[in-house]
Amino acid sequence: MDGINMVLSIQKMISKEVLNFNEARLYLQISQTRLRKLANNGEIPCMRTGKRKMHFNSKDLQTWLSKNELKSHSNHFQCSALTTLKKGACRDERSL
């Protein structure tokens, strides 16, 4: 999907109040596995219909995204500082 189509798709998703699993995954730009883990752990609120179908409130996703962007930036700066101190990469992104 090229950049313009991606932006249009995201704008369309933002206007929806409830997103299905795939729309939420695309909106957050995370893998299916990561979204499933976050939802199952209660880190991202979701509504379940049946055993496997998940739906997400777009406002909840925006709130989660805003909070986790801050963590991501903070982790980036911490990683940069660690990398400066010792050679090697900071790989503690699983805690996000």
pLDDT one-digit tens code per residue, 3-44: 777 777 767 766 789 999 999 998 898 999 999 999 999 999
Q: DSSP state, 43?
A: S
Instruction: Quote the pLDDT of residue 84.
Output: 44
Task: Report residue 64 as tokens.
Answer: 């989660």
Instruction: Quote the pLDDT of residue 51.
Output: 80
Which residues have a Cβ under 8 Å from the Cβ of 9 and sit 6 or more positions away?
1, 26
Instruction: Quote the pLDDT of residue 10.
Output: 66
pTM over 0.95: no
pLDDT one-digit tens code per residue, 49-70: 888 899 999 999 999 988 887 5
Instruction: Quote the pLDDT of residue 14.
Output: 66
Distance CA 27, CA 62 (A): 9
